[in-house]
Amino acid sequence: MPATGTVEVLFSPWDDAEGAIIRLLGQAKQSIHVQAFLLTSRSIAKGLQDAHLRGVKVEVLADREMLNKGENSLLPKLAAAGIPLWLETRYASAHNKVILIDAEDERGTVITGSYNFTWSAQARNAENLLILQANPTLTRRYLDNWRRHRAEAQKYQGATNEQQ
């Protein structure tokens, strides 16, 4: 795969990885695709909701077990706000941490790394975050993978999913 575009590397807690994510969510024009192991960051959840309210198509995939165990998960709040949510059940752990922004655009963005979308990832953990922009081949691979996972996932139905 050819190396094109730009690469930004951040390491928490020293770099403001959460701030970089929020900035990029604010720049989204068409779509945001999320794969989350855990999402408890109020700021990131607000960035997703704000994008949704601006008319950006926001869709989220998440690990069902972490949703069930995570008392602070903001995923139900996103679903209640009208953001489509699917839960991954096939894997022992759906451990992806990916955000794709405007993935079908030539200048699309892939955000990935060890960084969970949580307050602890920014403030307490040693994490890494890569922001890869303007590499359409790479972005397409991530989008195709996101779609493959969504095809296997269960649409979130509120409490009914949590009881399974």
**Is 97 one of the annotated active-site residues of the chain?**
yes
**Catalytic-labelled residue, pool 95, 105, 144, 149:** 95
**Is 95 one of the annotated active-site residues of the chain?**
yes
How far is the C-alpha of 53 from the C-alpha of 78, rounded, in Å?
12
**Is 69 one of the annotated active-site residues of the chain?**
no
**Catalytic-labelled residue, pool 57, 102, 105, 144:** 102
How far is the C-alpha of 135 from the C-alpha of 90, rounded, in Å?
30
How far is the C-alpha of 163 from the C-alpha of 67, rounded, in Å?
11
**Catalytic-labelled residue, pool 33, 52, 63, 97:** 97
Residues labelled as active-site residues: 95, 97, 102
